[in-house]
Structure 1
Amino acid sequence: MSSNTQSTNYTSLFEASLANPETFWAEQAEQIAWFKKPETVLGKDANGLDRWYAGGQLNTCYLAIDYHVQHGRGAQVAMIYDSPVTNTIQKYTFAELQHKVAKCAGALRALGVEKGDRVVIYMPMIPETAFAMLACARLGAVHSVVFGGFAPHELAIRIEDAEPKVVISASCGIEFDRVLPYKPLLDEAIELAAFKPKHCLIYQRSMCHAPMLEGRDVDYEDAVAKADPTECVPVDATHPLYILYTSGTTGKPKGVVRDNGGHAVALKFSMHHVYDAHAGDVFWAASDFGWVVGHSYILYGPLIAGCTTILFEGKPVRTPDAGTFWRVIADHQVKTFFTAPTAFRAIKKEDPEALLKDKYDTSSLQNIFVAGERCDPPTLEWLQKIAQLPITDHWWQTESGWPMVANMMGLEAFPVKAGSATKPVCGYNLKIVGENGQELEANHEGYVCLKLPLPPGFTPTLWNDDARFKSSYLKKFAGYYLSGDGGYVDEDGYVFIMGRVDDVINVAGHRLSTGEMEEFVASHPAVAECAVVGIADELRGQRPVGFVVLKDGIGIDETALESELVGIVRDQIGAVAFFRTAILVKRLPKTRSGKILRKTIRQIADGESYTVPSTIDDPVILEEIAQTLQRRAVGQAFENQRI
C-alpha cells in the first residue's frame, strides 16, 4: 500500500473504502503483479452484474509461486504438509513448489486441458491436491474441488454442472484410522453422470491401490514424470479461477464462481490487514480444500502474501489426541492460526483444562481466528483463558471468499465483545434491513445485507446461472446483497450475526434467536456443545428444543440437566421463550466445515421430507437424532407415538 494508508486507522480506511470504492480498490490493485494493468476498475458485464478490473491480465499461480521465486524467495519454505494420520511431514520451498506445479500443469496439458477448460478435483488433504489446484490456475483452467469421499450422487451432480475435461482423484483418503477408497465412488459418480470426463488422473497412495480403467484412467505419477514443465498462461482478470459448490435451497448446489483479478487483490489485502500475516510468516488454516477457507487461506491467500502455509491431514482430536493442534503450532512456529469453533469445542470436550497444550511451546502464536459458524461466548471465553491471545471471531461465506466482518488485526485491534464478529471489513457496506426493505437502527435485529457494489473477491455470479444469482441474492431487497443471515449492529458498530434467517423462530408471535438460547445452554458447566432448534408447535407456532452434548467424563441425569437448562433460559430470556425440552445426544449432525445442520434437525422433528445435505460429515447422525426424538416423543413426527 502507499505510505499514506499504512498508518491509517480502521475508521478512516473503512470510510474511504465506502466513499470511493473505485479509488480504494485501484490502490489495492497496485499491490499485485499484473501482466497487463486493468483498463477499468469497476464496470458492468453484459448481464448488468458488477465486474472488477476488466481489461487487466494476470495469473494467480504466478502470483502464488513464480513471483516469489523471481524476487529471491525461492529457498523459503512455501508449504508444509503435516499428516498425523500417515505420520508424515514434508516441506516444499517456493522453487520446489514451482517445479511440482509446472510438471502437473504439463501433465494436464498433455491430456488436453487448456485455458477455460474445467477440472474437477476429488482428493484428500495431500500436497498433490494443492499441486493440482495451482496447476489449473497456471493453465487458466477452472478447477472445482469436491471433498474426497463425497457421495457418488453429489459428485455426479457437480460433474454434470461443471463438465470437466479431466477429473483428478486419489486412490483413497484416511479418516482417523480408517482408509476410505475414493476410486469406487468416483467410478460410480461417472456412471451416474450424464456428462463423462475424457480422462481421470489418479494418484495412487501407498496404503491403497485403485484399479484403473484402460483408456480413461491415467496414473498421476507417471503422467507428471513424463510431462514437460508449463509456464503461466495470462488470463483476464474476469476469467474464472474456480467453481466451488455450496448448498442451495432447491437441492441443486450453487456453483459459486471466483474470478482471478478481484480474488488476488482481495486476498492479499485481507492477509495483511485482517490476519496481520506477511511474507515469511507461518500461517495455518486448519480446514479442507473442499471449503472456501481451504481455497482462500490454505492455498491462495498465504502463498500470494509470501507466507509459509500448512497443509494438515488430520482432525483436532484422535490424531492422536486433543493436543495435535498445539503440537503443529509448536513444531512449525505458527504465527497465525485459523479454524472453526467446532474444532475448539471438540478439543475442549476431550481436554477441558487444556493440559495437553502445556506439553508444547506455542509462544510463536500471536493470533487465533475462528469462523465457519458463530463462536459461542463459552467457547470464546475458554479459548481466551487457555491461549492468553487475541481471539478473533470473523464472519464470511463461500460467496464472499474472504472476511466480511472481522477485527482487522493488521490495522487496528478493537476490544472483543463476546458473540460479535466485531466490525465490517473495508469494502463491505453492511446494513441491517427490515422485512419491508428499510435500514434498521442500532440493536434492531433483521436481515444482514450488503449494499452494492460488492467488493473485489466476492462471487460475481453463479456458474452458468446469472438468473439464479440475481434471484437468490439480489432480488429481495433492491440495491442489496442478501446474506441469508440475521443479526444486528450495536451502538458501537459491532456486528452480531445470530444465525441463518430461518433459525429465528416465532414463539407465540415473539421472534426469538436460537443463537441467543444456545449461548445460555452452552454456559452450563456440563455442556460441551449444543444446538437449539425451533420445532412446530400447534399452540405457539414454534417452540425451542435443545440438543446437548456432554463434556467427556461428566455424569449427569438427563432429567436433572434438562431442569437446570430450562431454568437458565427462563432466567435469562424469560418464560416467553417456552424452552422446556433439552435432549442429550452423543453428537450433533454437522457439515464437514463444522456447521450444525439445524434446519435438517427441525425437518426431522416436524416430520417433513428432507434431503441429506451433500456437505454432511456423517449421515448416520441424522438417524441417531431421529431415534432420540422418537425416544423422547418430541416433535410432530413422534408426539403421536407417546404412550
Structure 2
Amino acid sequence: MGRYRETYERWKASPEAFWAEAAREIDWSKPWDRVLTLEGDLSRWFEGATCNTCWNALDRHVEGGRGEQLALIHDSAMTGKVKRFTYRELRDKVATFAGVLQRHGIGKGDRVILYMPMVPQAVVAMLACARLGAIHSVVFGGFAAKELATRIDDARPKLIVSASCGLEPGRAIAYKPLLDQAIELSEHKPEACIIVQRAELEAPLVPGRDFDWKDEMEKARAAGAAPACVPVAATDPLYVLYTSGTTGKPKGVVRDNGGHMVALKWSMKNVYGVDPGDVFWAASDVGWVVGHSYIVYGPLLHGCTTILFEGKPVGTPDAGTYWRVIADHGVKALFTAPTAFRAIKKEDPAAELVKKYDLSKFELLFLAGERGDPDTIQWAERALGVPVIDHWWQTESGWPMVANPMGLERLPVKYGSPTVAMPGYEIQVVDEAAKPVPANTTGAIVVKLPLPPGCLPTLWHNDEGFRNSYLADYPGYYKTADAGYLDEDGYLYVMSRTDDIINVAGHRLSTGGMEEVLAGHPDVAECAVIGVADALKGQVPVGFLVVNKGVNRPAEEIAKEAVALVRDKIGPVAAFKTALVVQRLPKTRSGKILRGTMRKIADGEAWSMPATIDDPVILEEIGEALSDAGYGRKG
C-alpha cells in the first residue's frame, strides 16, 4: 500500500490541510475563513466561503474551453431514443430553466421538490436550482402519494417539478394523479407545479397551478431570462434527500455546497480512476443518492461525460442492455448495484450476450448498494475481463467511505471486502460499549468524528434527530448501522445491517456470511437470509433462494444442497436447516432486499407495505412460501 497509505496518512496527520489542498480543484467566489468549524458534535466545512455548484459543474467548463464536449447522454431503452447535450447546450438549458424558476418566484434558500422519471429535464431542474441557490429535494418518481405528501410537508417547497409519467417495461406509470393526490393530502401547498408532458401519456393540467415545461421554457427564452449563477455560502444546503422507508418524521439528509463539491471532485479521480473527458455511467436513478452524486454532480464537476439511462438491467429488451450502452457510448467506468448483476447473471448465466458487443473502451466496474458477494463479483470478472471493485458508502455519507482507490493505487482484492477506508474516514469496529474489538471480530461499524466534507452536516431542520439517529449510541462516532469486521490488514468486511446480526442460542451470527455461502451454489442466482424467532434458540436463520434461468432440477434438491453448504462452511452452530426456493425476492426500487419486512412476515408480526417496494405482489409470494414451511400467517 504505497500511494494509498501515504495519502491516507497525510490526511490523518493534517485533515484541514488535506481538504484545503483538494479544495483548489473548485472555483470559489470568496475563499473560506476556516476549513473546519466544530459546533459541539456538528461539523461545518469551508465556513465563510461562497461558491456555486452549477458554475463548477457547467459554466466553468464552458469558460475553460470544454463547451463542445458531451456533458450528458440520455439513453432511454424504454423509448429507443438517445439525446446528447454538450456542456454549452446543457449550460444554456439549465440557465433558461433557472429563468423559469425565477419567474415563478424561486430564489436562494427556497425549496423545490422534483418528482421525476429518468429524463434530461430532471438533471436540468437539479442544476437550475443549484444555479439560483434554491434547495432541491428529489423524490423518486412513482413514489406513493402518502410518502410524497410527508416530504412536501417537511421540505415545504414553493414549487414542484414533475412529469406526466414514468416508463416501465410494457407500461406507462401516471405520475400526475399521484402528485395531485399528494398535494391534496399535504398540509403545505406548493404555489405552482411545472409538468414535463411525455408523449407516451399526457396529463391534464390544473388551471392556475400547473404549467407546461415546454411552454415555460419558450416564454423564458423569448424574455431572455437566463440568470447567472448566484453565489451561496459553502455551508448552505444544496439539496435535501429523504432516506427511503421513513416512518414518522422523515429523515431529510442535508448536503452542503462547498464540502460536497470538494469531496465529489476528489473521488472522481482518486476513487473511480476517471479523467475529464472520460465517459462515466452510474446506472442508478436520480431519486437515489447515487444519482445525485454520480449521475449528476460528480461527473460534471470533474468534466466527464455522464450517462442518464432509462431502463432496467434485464427486460429492456434483454440481459445485454448494459453491454449495449457501454458499447454505444464508449463507457470507461460503470457503477451499479450488485442486484443488477445478479439479475443479469440469472438471465444469462454463461454471459453469452457480452460477446455481441465491443467493450474495448470499458475498463472498470464498481458495485455498491447491497453487499457485493464474492460469487457475483467473480462472475462479473470472468464475463467482462475488467477489475470489479466493490465499495461501500451510504446516503448519509454522499461518497465512498471504503473503497479500492483506483486512481491512487489498485490494491489487492479480497473477495467479500470493499477494501479500505478512504481519506476522511477513520473506520472502527466496536462493541456495544463503543470499545474497539480485535481484528476479525464482528461488531458495529462506526466512523470517528468529525465527518469529512461531503457527509451530511445534519438532518433538515432536525439537529436533535440527527444526533439521536447517528451520534448518540456511540459517543464520538457516527453510527453507520452496519455490522462487520476489520481484518489484520485494515480491510473492512460489511456483513449486514446491525439489525441482521442474529442471535442463535447465544451465538451472534451474520446473515451476510450465510448469504455469501449460499451465493456460491452454482444454481443460485441470488439469495437472502433472515433471522426468524424461535422458542428454543431465540432466532434461527431461514434462507430464500432464486435459481438461475434454465435450471431444471427439483427445488427440494437445491435447497437440501444449500443447507448442507452452510452447515459445512459455517458449521452446525448456524442452525441453518431451512432454505426456500422462490421465484423472486422483494426489493426496493433501488435494489435493496427487504429483509426486515420478510422477517416480520415470518414472525407473524404486524407489517406495512414499504413505500419504496418495486412490486408488492412479491411479498404475497414470500408469505405463501413461509406459510407452507410453517412460518408466519398465510396471506
Q: Deviation of residue 86 (structure 1)?
A: 0.3
Cα deviation 1:372-423 (Å, max 9, x = unaligned):
0111111011011111111100000000000000000000111111100000
Q: Deviation of residue 19 (structure 1)?
A: 2.1
Q: Is residue 245–residue 611 contact of structure 2 (8 Å, CA) maintained in 1?
A: no
Give the structure 1 partner of residue 418 of structure 2. 421
Give the structure 1 partner of residue 199 of structure 2. 206
2:25 corresponds to 1:31: yes
Moved more, 613-622 or 72-81: 613-622
User: Which of 26, 37, 41 is the equivalent residue of 1:43?
Assistant: 37
Q: Is residue 32–residue 264 contact of structure 1 (8 Å, CA) maintained in 2?
A: yes
Alignment of 1:492-571 (within 5 A): 492-571=489-568
Q: Deviation of residue 8 (structure 1)?
A: 7.2
Q: Which amino acid aligns with 1:16?
A: R
Cα deviation 1:269-303 (Å, max 9, x = unaligned):
00010001111000000000011000000000000
Give the structure 1 partner of residue 178 of structure 2. 185
Give the structure 1 partner of residue 472 of structure 2. 475
Cα deviation 1:173-193 (Å, max 9, x = unaligned):
100121111000100000001
Secondary structure of 2:400 counterpart: coil
2:430 corresponds to 1:433: yes
User: Which of 383, 388, 392 is the equivalent residue of 1:395?
Assistant: 392
CA distance, structure 2, for counterparts of residue 387 and residue 295 of structure 1: 27
2:466 corresponds to 1:466: no
CA distance, structure 2, for counterparts of residue 611 and residue 160 of structure 1: 21
Give the structure 2 partner of residue 22 of structure 1. 16
Q: Deviation of residue 634 (structure 1)?
A: 2.2
User: Which of 285, 288, 291 is the equivalent residue of 1:288?
Assistant: 285
CA distance, structure 1, for counterparts of residue 219 and residue 247 of structure 2: 44
User: Which of 290, 298, 312 is the equivalent residue of 1:315?
Assistant: 312
Alignment of 1:570-585 (within 5 A): 570-585=567-582
Cα deviation 1:82-129 (Å, max 9, x = unaligned):
001101001000000011000111101111111000000000000000
Alignment of 1:70-109 (within 5 A): 70-109=63-102
Q: Deviation of residue 147 (structure 1)?
A: 1.0
Give the structure 1 partner of residue 303 of structure 2. 306
CA distance, structure 1, for counterparts of residue 145 and residue 569 of structure 2: 46
Q: Is residue 251–residue 611 contact of structure 1 (8 Å, CA) maintained in 2?
A: no
User: Which of 617, 622, 635 is the equivalent residue of 1:620?
Assistant: 617
Give the structure 2 partner of residue 605 of structure 1. 602
Cα deviation 1:339-374 (Å, max 9, x = unaligned):
000000110011111111100000101111000011
Give the structure 2 partner of residue 327 of structure 1. 324
Moved more, 13-22 or 79-88: 13-22
2:479 corresponds to 1:486: no
Q: Is residue 248–residue 254 contact of structure 1 (8 Å, CA) maintained in 2?
A: no
Percentage of pairs with the same residue: 60
Secondary structure of 1:223 counterpart: helix
Q: Is residue 18–residue 428 contact of structure 1 (8 Å, CA) maintained in 2?
A: no
CA distance, structure 2, for counterparts of residue 279 and residue 234 of structure 1: 25
Secondary structure of 2:109 counterpart: coil
Structure 1 residues 524 and 48 mapped into 2: Cα distance closer, same or farther (>3 Å)? Answer: closer
CA distance, structure 1, for counterparts of residue 364 and residue 500 of structure 2: 30
CA distance, structure 2, for counterparts of residue 177 and residue 391 of structure 1: 32
Give the structure 2 partner of residue 53 of structure 1. 46
Secondary structure of 1:168 counterpart: strand
Q: Which amino acid aligns with 1:536?
A: A
Secondary structure of 2:441 counterpart: coil
Q: Which amino acid aligns with 2:10?
A: A
User: Which of 56, 61, 65 is the equivalent residue of 1:63?
Assistant: 56
Secondary structure of 1:546 counterpart: strand
Q: Which amino acid aligns with 1:333?
A: G
Q: Is residue 344–residue 379 contact of structure 1 (8 Å, CA) maintained in 2?
A: yes
CA distance, structure 2, for counterparts of residue 519 and residue 266 of structure 1: 32
2:212 corresponds to 1:219: yes
Give the structure 2 partner of residue 196 of structure 1. 189
User: Which of 117, 122, 126 is the equivalent residue of 1:124?
Assistant: 117
User: Which of 256, 276, 289 is the equivalent residue of 1:279?
Assistant: 276
2:144 corresponds to 1:151: yes
Secondary structure of 1:72 counterpart: helix
Structure 1 residues 108 and 249 mapped into 2: Cα distance closer, same or farther (>3 Å)? Answer: closer
Q: Is residue 445–residue 479 contact of structure 2 (8 Å, CA) maintained in 1?
A: yes
CA distance, structure 2, for counterparts of residue 31 and residue 92 of structure 1: 24
Structure 1 residues 507 and 48 mapped into 2: Cα distance closer, same or farther (>3 Å)? Answer: closer
CA distance, structure 2, for counterparts of residue 287 and residue 253 of structure 1: 22
CA distance, structure 2, for counterparts of residue 428 and residue 99 of structure 1: 38
CA distance, structure 1, for counterparts of residue 2 and residue 570 of structure 2: 41
Q: Is residue 604–residue 631 contact of structure 2 (8 Å, CA) maintained in 1?
A: no
Q: Is residue 143–residue 241 contact of structure 1 (8 Å, CA) maintained in 2?
A: yes
Moved more, 297-306 or 432-441: 432-441
2:10 corresponds to 1:10: no
CA distance, structure 2, for counterparts of residue 36 and residue 556 of structure 1: 67
Give the structure 2 partner of residue 3 of structure 1. none
Q: Which amino acid aligns with 2:53?
A: T
Secondary structure of 2:428 counterpart: strand
Q: Deviation of residue 608 (structure 1)?
A: 1.3
Q: Is residue 531–residue 546 contact of structure 1 (8 Å, CA) maintained in 2?
A: yes
Give the structure 2 partner of residue 115 of structure 1. 108
Secondary structure of 2:62 counterpart: helix
Gaps of 5+ in 2: none
CA distance, structure 2, for counterparts of residue 396 and residue 253 of structure 1: 21
Q: Deviation of residue 218 (structure 1)?
A: 0.7
Give the structure 1 partner of residue 355 of structure 2. 358
Q: Which amino acid aligns with 1:219?
A: D
CA distance, structure 2, for counterparts of residue 48 and residue 340 of structure 1: 32
Q: Which amino acid aligns with 1:594?
A: G
Cα deviation 1:595-631 (Å, max 9, x = unaligned):
1111110011111122322222122211221122122
The normalised TM-score by structure 1 is 0.97
Secondary structure of 2:25 counterpart: coil
Q: Is residue 449–residue 477 contact of structure 2 (8 Å, CA) maintained in 1?
A: yes
CA distance, structure 1, for counterparts of residue 631 and residue 607 of structure 2: 18
Cα deviation 1:49-75 (Å, max 9, x = unaligned):
110000001000000000000000000
Secondary structure of 1:230 counterpart: coil
The normalised TM-score by structure 2 is 0.98
Moved more, 565-574 or 615-624: 615-624
CA distance, structure 2, for counterparts of residue 256 and residue 280 of structure 1: 31
Give the structure 2 partner of residue 4 of structure 1. none
Secondary structure of 1:53 counterpart: strand
Q: Is residue 247–residue 253 contact of structure 1 (8 Å, CA) maintained in 2?
A: no
Q: Which amino acid aligns with 2:378?
A: E
User: Which of 390, 401, 405 is the equivalent residue of 2:402?
Assistant: 405
Structure 1 residues 498 and 251 mapped into 2: Cα distance closer, same or farther (>3 Å)? Answer: farther
Cα deviation 1:251-286 (Å, max 9, x = unaligned):
443100000000000000000100011110000000
Q: Which amino acid aligns with 2:190?
A: P
Cα deviation 1:559-609 (Å, max 9, x = unaligned):
222211111111111111111111111111111111111111001111112
CA distance, structure 2, for counterparts of residue 235 and residue 249 of structure 1: 30
Q: Deviation of residue 248 (structure 1)?
A: 6.1
Cα deviation 1:235-257 (Å, max 9, x = unaligned):
00000000000046754431000
User: Which of 252, 255, 264 is the equivalent residue of 2:252?
Assistant: 255
2:437 corresponds to 1:443: no
Aligned residues: 631
2:238 corresponds to 1:241: yes
